[in-house]
Amino acid sequence: MRLKDKWALVTGGSRGIGKGICIGLAKEGCNVVLNYVGNRAAAEETVGILQDLGVAAEAIQANVGIRADVERMIAEATASHQLDILVGNAGVVDMQPFLEITPEAWSYQMDTNLLGSFNIGQVMGRYFVDNNISGKIVFVTSFNQEVPNATQGVYSISKSGIKMLAKVMALELAEYGINVNTIAAGAVITDINKKQVEMFPGLVDRLNKIIPLHRWGTVEDMAHAAVYLASSESDYVTGSTIFVEGGIMINNGMMINVVEE
């Protein structure tokens, strides 16, 4: 097992990609602190799955967009064990055409996605440095960090910001032996993009044609990349992005949010 006896904190870990990453880490022997913001039942269900895999697991509520919440969560998580890995996965999207974006929608997405990544990245980075831990930090972004989609402007901007945040962190934390990378996820059907699928009829089938591998991604696909970046196998990888998107970047996104006549 590549991560036996390590401890990871996974934000947004109760459902979707975060849940899949938690399970992938656990299968490699990693103990998990699962962060959630509101759905305690889903978090406890995921904790049970992880424990059934033979690892220690616990859930801590915190809104990553609130600095005090993040500091409390890290203090609570590290009171009884050392954290070795951070997977920043918490994220939200609000589908709005550019001319209809509201200040509230901007703040909602930026506070969780970009500010949340900064909060958790800086607090964990300081923890690693203060405790002389050669930690691994992984942020889950999206191929939208490179290619915007219609109605997903703020989301795309926030993900692009996380990409640069990770590069800045990788540059300045390298001397402490801390690796910082991102996973640019492709199309994966989770709670976060159900509205997108509903808004654009035929999107699932259209993407299956556009994506060179002719299928949507799975949470397991994302978990495989996270395990690699969390393990010693990626010790010489930092400031990089792994695109786990079936090759859709080859087609440059192809204006996926289009309703066929």
Estimate the crossing angle of helix 40-52 against helix 16-27, to 10 degrees.
20
Question: Domain for residue 2, yes or no?
Answer: no
* CA dist., res. 3 & res. 91, Å (int): 25
Compute the distance between CA of residue 213 and CA of residue 165 in angstroms, rounded to an integer.
30
The amino acid at 175: E
Domain count for the chain, please give it.
1
Catalytic residues: 155
* Residues 194-224 pLDDT 10s: 667 777 778 788 888 888 999 989 999 999 9
* Residue 61 belongs to a domain: yes
Percent of the chain clearing pLDDT 70 (strictly above): 94
Q: Each residue of 169-199: pLDDT tens digit?
A: 999 999 999 999 999 999 887 776 666 777 7
pTM: 0.92
State which residues form the domain around 238: 7-251
Asked if the structure places residue 258 within a domain, the reply is no
Q: What is the pLDDT of residue 256?
A: 56
For 66, residues 6+ apart whose C-beta sits below 8 A from its C-beta are 119
Q: Is residue 260 part of a domain?
A: no
Tell me how crowded residue 236 is: count the other CB atoms within 10 A of its CB.
Answer: 6
CATH of the domain at 74: 3.40.50.720
